[in-house]
Amino acid sequence: MPVEDKPVQYSFEGLSRVLAPRDGAHSGWPPAVVASVFQTGLNLMRDLEQKGIRVAGVDCNPENPGFRSRYGQSFLCPNPDKEPDAWLDFMLSLAEALGEKPVLIAASDIFVSAIGKHTERLDEHFILSKTGCRLQASLGTKEVQYALAREHGMPSPQAAYIQSADELEQFCRQARFPVLLKPRQPREWEALPEGSPLRGHKAVSAQSAEELIALYSHLDGVVPDAVAQEEIVGPDSAKYCYLSVYATDGQRLGACVVHELRAYPLMYGCATIVEPVVDEEIDQVCHRFLSSVGYVGIGEIEVKRDIRDGRVLLIEVNPRFSGTGDSAKYTGVETGYLHYLDLIGQKPAPVSATRFDFRHVMLRNELTAFPKYLEAGLIGWGEWFHSLRRPIKYFDFDLSDFSNARISGMAGARGFVAGLLRKWGLRS
């Protein structure tokens, strides 16, 4: 158990880089700690550092790009799922080493959960919203998302929290197929045994009750908790994301809507290319929901228009800074910076999206996805090239951070070539 009055001491090599004054920095503003230095969190670190804010990152995966980046300073922490007490000790030690109370912002699900679990202790050493952190942690599981959606009037497909094959069979008797099977949290399926057909998936689709029950059999006895949800029918281009940030007093500080054009994996993966749009219906539906639940902080809501009836329905809530959320800053809605300002009491004025002439691309995944879209007959070469003609803002290709840009570019090129070779029958 962590020591109540004094955390275990850790060595934070490179901390002086965080503590050093920044050009253009506002005197007296505290540093920020971003929990996750995967590309998502790294982009948030970059955004804050470019505003003159001193920033550090923490992560339990030493392979994440923040550990080889020019932005901020990243520190390897214990895994909060496997060693929760050690992780809390680490965080308290980091706050003590910084010498002042830093702002704490999560950028991945594992840290949303950890911060929510340890909110009381962390609040003594970090600047955060206790209300916001607890709600974000509860929204980290699909069953809570759908329950809150039903309670607060957010349109959503029929869904059920499943803990056994019997419960799944009961759901099947009243569901309209196709139906998706999802993990409660994405990382639960990432830990499935090698060879499991569900390992690493965000969702899998079944066209019949028999197929759904067969898919669930790979979970039963391993990770039996899952969510079954009626599928929202339509292509990847029927999906949209509402990207927003809400103040500690409940005010909306900024929001925008982006239209997803493609995703990887196809149909059920993360968006690889999006463009900002004006969509009042999606804006208002999502805003009403987040206002109703008392949301505080940065968030993303992914929705989809069902091609059968045109209804906008909830896919999922990502209660944190997200990969697609990186696109918001290019519209003029700098969610990370606005959240930081709000937490330190600066009370920023609300902003609206003002820039729409760009597309936001996850280069590695977009290059890997294209051959699969091509093979499926969903896009041609000309249409693909045309989709990339507008100004591009990259999620994972920042030449100022060349080491990581090179890795993303090379990984994307390998996926692109390998996919084309498979399509042409030159590779199995």
Would 292 be classed as within a structural domain?
A: yes
Asked if the model's pLDDT at residue 175 lies above 60, the reply is: yes
Rounded to whole angstroms, the Cα distance separating 337 from 329 reads 9
**Residue bearing tokens 């009037």:** 153
Same domain, 198 and 245: no
Rounded to whole angstroms, the Cα distance separating 301 from 287 reads 10
Question: If pLDDT is split at 50, 70 and 90, which confidence band does 63 have?
Answer: very high
pLDDT (mean) for 48-59: 95
Same domain, 353 and 239: yes
Question: If pLDDT is split at 50, 70 and 90, which confidence band does 224 have?
Answer: confident
- Kindly report the CATH number assigned to the domain that includes residue 218: 3.30.1490.20
CA nearest 219: which of 234, 197, 250? 197
Would 145 be classed as within a structural domain?
A: no
Same domain, 302 and 382: no
Question: What pairs with residue 8 in β-bridges?
Answer: none
Question: 306-330 in b/e burial notation, b at 16+ Cβ within 10 A?
Answer: beeeeebbbbbbbbbbbbbbbbbbb
Higher confidence at residue 412 or residue 198?
412
Rounded to whole angstroms, the Cα distance separating 287 from 284 reads 5
Tally of structural domains, the chain: 4
CA nearest 342: which of 32, 27, 96, 6? 32
Task: Tell me the percentage of the chain whose pLDDT exceeds 70.
Answer: 96
Measured CA distances, 112 to 318, 378, 412 (Å): 10, 36, 29
Strand, coil or helix: 260: strand
Domain of 220, in residue numbers: 158-230
Residue ending a domain, choose from 213, 230, 247 = 230
Rounded to whole angstroms, the Cα distance separating 113 from 136 reads 8
Asked if the model's pLDDT at residue 6 lies above 60, the reply is: no
Same domain, 263 and 356: yes
CB atoms within 10 A of CB 22: 16
Asked if the model's pLDDT at residue 185 lies above 90, the reply is: no
Q: How far is CA 126 from the centre of its chain?
A: 22
Would 172 be classed as within a structural domain?
A: yes
Question: CB–CB of 204/211 below 8 Å?
Answer: no
Query: What's this model's pTM, rounded to 2 decimal places?
Result: 0.92
The two tokens of residue 243 are: 């990207």
| CA count, 13 A, side-chain hemisphere, 366 | 25
| Alpha helix (H) residue ranges in 200-266 | 209-216
Would 196 be classed as within a structural domain?
A: yes
pLDDT (mean) for 328-353: 97
Same domain, 289 and 350: yes
The two tokens of residue 266 are: 């196809």
pLDDT (mean) for 228-246: 96
Question: If pLDDT is split at 50, 70 and 90, which confidence band does 23 have?
Answer: low
Output the average pLDDT for the chain. 93
Angle between helix 109-117 and helix 84-98 axes, rounded to 10 deg: 90
Rounded to whole angstroms, the Cα distance separating 115 from 135 reads 11
Asked if the model's pLDDT at residue 7 lies above 60, the reply is: no
Strand, coil or helix: 394: strand
Same domain, 207 and 244: no
Question: If pLDDT is split at 50, 70 and 90, which confidence band does 3 have?
Answer: very low
Would 194 be classed as within a structural domain?
A: yes
Same domain, 28 and 107: yes
| CA count, 13 A, side-chain hemisphere, 419 | 21
Same domain, 293 and 249: yes
274-285 confidence digits (pLDDT tens): 999 999 999 999
Pair type for strands 359-361 and 270-277: antiparallel
Task: Compute the residue count for the chain.
Answer: 428
Same domain, 171 and 274: no
Question: CB–CB of 268/180 below 8 Å?
Answer: yes
Same domain, 250 and 335: yes
74-100 confidence digits (pLDDT tens): 999 999 999 999 999 999 999 999 999
Question: If pLDDT is split at 50, 70 and 90, which confidence band does 333 have?
Answer: very high
Angle between helix 109-117 and helix 130-138 axes, rounded to 10 deg: 120
Question: CB–CB of 336/244 below 8 Å?
Answer: no
Same domain, 198 and 314: no
Would 184 be classed as within a structural domain?
A: yes
- Kindly report the CATH number assigned to the domain that includes residue 343: 3.30.470.20
- Kindly report the CATH number assigned to the domain that includes residue 104: 3.40.50.20
Same domain, 374 and 426: yes
Question: CB–CB of 227/182 below 8 Å?
Answer: yes
The helix (H) or strand (E) run that includes residue 58 is: strand 55-59
CA angle 328, 331, 335 (to 5 degrees): 35
Pair type for strands 103-106 and 32-35: parallel
Question: If pLDDT is split at 50, 70 and 90, which confidence band does 361 have?
Answer: very high
Would 151 be classed as within a structural domain?
A: no
What is the pLDDT, as a whole number, of residue 199? Answer: 87
CA nearest 275: which of 378, 333, 329, 356? 356
The two tokens of residue 377 are: 């007959």
DSSP 263-298: EESTTTSEEEEEEEE--HHHHHHHHHHHHHHT--EE
Residue ending a domain, choose from 341, 361, 381 = 361
What is the pLDDT, as a whole number, of residue 2? Answer: 47
Task: Tell me the percentage of the chain whose pLDDT exceeds 90.
Answer: 83
Would 373 be classed as within a structural domain?
A: yes
For the ranges 174-178, 243-247, 365-369, the lowest mean pLDDT is seen at 174-178
Residue ending a domain, choose from 198, 214, 230 = 230
Strand runs labelled E in 119-238: 159-162, 179-182, 204-206, 226-230
